[in-house]
Amino acid sequence: MAIQNIIRSLIVETPSKPGNFAKVAKAIGDQGGDIGDIKTLKIGTLSTIRDVSCTCDSVEQLDAIVGALNGLEDITVRAVSDDVMKAHEGGKIHMSRKIDVRSLSDLRRIYTPGVASVCQEIERSPEKANYFTSIGNTVAIVTDGTAILGLGNIGSVAGMPVMEGKSVLFDQFAGISGIPILLDTSNPDEVVETVKHISQGFGGILLEDIGSPHCFEIEERLKKDLNIPVMHDDQHGTAVVTLAAVLSASRYAGVDLKQAVVGQVGLGAAGLAISRMLIEYGVKEVCGSDLQESSCDRLRSFGGTVMNSLEELMQKCDIVIATTGVKGLIKPSMVRKGQIILALSNPYPEITPEEALQAGAAYAADGRLVNNVLGFPGIFRGALNANAKSITYPMLLAAANAIVDATHNGDLVPHPLDPNVHSSVAKAVERIALKELD
């Protein structure tokens, strides 16, 4: 099946008679479109207007859908609007107050002169900033724009919609304020210095879409130098969720993950961290491939085996995970019967789950399903709740197990809108963090 990525709202008017919407749905389906949400905007005596969200893979396909609908008797497409662009108009986030100023005494209490006594209290006892400010509940979402999704080095400003998205997810799933910080340098010394200089205003640092290999040095140095949790989401958030997904898939397939041969295609930020997590977990053989020798060397240094080619990896491995950013890299002919395949590149996977399953895979998923959104909000919530100074491997492992426990039977991972998953991850991480602080 084609990769679907264009999302449009079709405003469709049909006669107010049963059976007409079925014609709309069939026409869209016949043209290969995928229907999402349907909202009824108006039910009139003669006609009904609905907003039908539709996903398709090309402008030509969209035109064919609109043409097919307009070709139906008494059915008209009144407008086509771009839902995705609309959702981003004016940006997706806004910092707002928790308190109203309704009187002069409110003003004097929350602002000057009242605020001065709070400032002095924090000056005397700096740890009280955790109680009297929002710092402890605020995380910087730091990017240098060098690996925005799989779109490459498109710069921090072009990556801002992703950072705003992460901020929305932090707020909705974990009640955390996430503030995007867009860097105009990817020089590790400058990134580390900049983040260190702003870090006192934050309870944690989420590094996002910073490319490899400089992401490794940046994260390591910041973790060493800062006394607050620092985590590169594309490395560890992804590794946590991937471990959870392969644990569930292995369980369904009746395979002991530790005895399985796992192949990692692409050993950049996400791929190396996934491999390291699997090795730490106890997987006996983790194989990998990458175009860059330096990435292969890193895998070797953590105990993995480098394959000579993608074909060799696909032949050898029971479970294959891909994070290359290369659309369609895995051909159906390479899939081995019964394999578990997670093609995690966004926005385009290395092989679609439909193609992988058709080619004989036992389980398959892409990066929309197996996505670090299931990890980072709860991981930071738990770490901030515990006042943790860092995010450790046992905390990440606890997060992965919490995701497995929150997964419904038959699914690889939980639904990202299931609030239970984020609070379970948070509780599991907090429990371990508190133990480690003891």
Ligand X SMILES: NC(=O)c1ccc[n+]([C@@H]2O[C@H](COP(=O)([O-])OP(=O)(O)OC[C@H]3O[C@@H](n4cnc5c(N)ncnc54)[C@H](O)[C@@H]3O)[C@@H](O)[C@H]2O)c1
Ligand Y SMILES: O=C(O)C[C@H](O)C(=O)O
Binding residues: 208-209, 234, 346, 371
Instruction: Using the rule CB under 6 A, give the single segment among 78-86, 129-137, 182-190, 366-374 that binds ligand Y.
Output: 366-374
Nearer to ligand Y, 136 or 159 (CB): 159
Catalytic residues: 111, 166
| 147, 361, 404, 433: residue in contact with ligand X (rule CB under 6 A) | 147
Shortest Cβ 368–ligand Y spacing (Å):
8
The verdict on 326 binding ligand Y (CB under 6 A) reads: no
The verdict on 323 binding ligand X (CB under 6 A) reads: yes
Residues 370-409 that bind ligand Y (CB under 6 A): 371-372
Shortest Cβ 327–ligand X spacing (Å):
9
Binding residues for a divalent metal cation: 208-209, 234
# binding residues, ligand X (CB under 6 A)? 31
Residues 185-214 that bind ligand X (CB under 6 A): 211-212
Nearer to ligand X, 33 or 325 (CB): 325
The verdict on 346 binding ligand X (CB under 6 A) reads: yes
Pairing between β-strand 285-289 and β-strand 204-207 as defined by DSSP bridges = unpaired
The item of ligand X, ligand Y, Mg ion, none sharing an interface with residue 403, based on CB under 5 to 8 Å by kind, is none
The verdict on 229 binding ligand X (CB under 6 A) reads: no
The verdict on 350 binding ligand Y (CB under 6 A) reads: no
Contacts of residue 351, Cβ cutoff 8 Å, sequence gap at least 6 = 322, 328, 329, 330, 331, 332, 335, 341, 343, 359, 364
Binding site for Mg ion (CB under 5 A): 209, 234
> Which x/- pattern, by CB under 6 A, does the window 362-381 give for ligand X?
-----x--xxx---------
Shortest Cβ 364–ligand Y spacing (Å):
18
Contacts of residue 287, Cβ cutoff 8 Å, sequence gap at least 6 = 261, 262, 263, 264, 304, 305, 306, 307, 313, 316, 317
Nearer to ligand X, 159 or 325 (CB): 325
Q: Give the binding site for ligand X (CB under 6 A).
A: 147, 149-150, 211-212, 234, 238, 265-271, 289-292, 295, 323-326, 329, 344-346, 367, 370-372
Q: Give the binding site for ligand Y (CB under 6 A).
A: 149, 162, 209, 233-234, 346, 367, 371-372
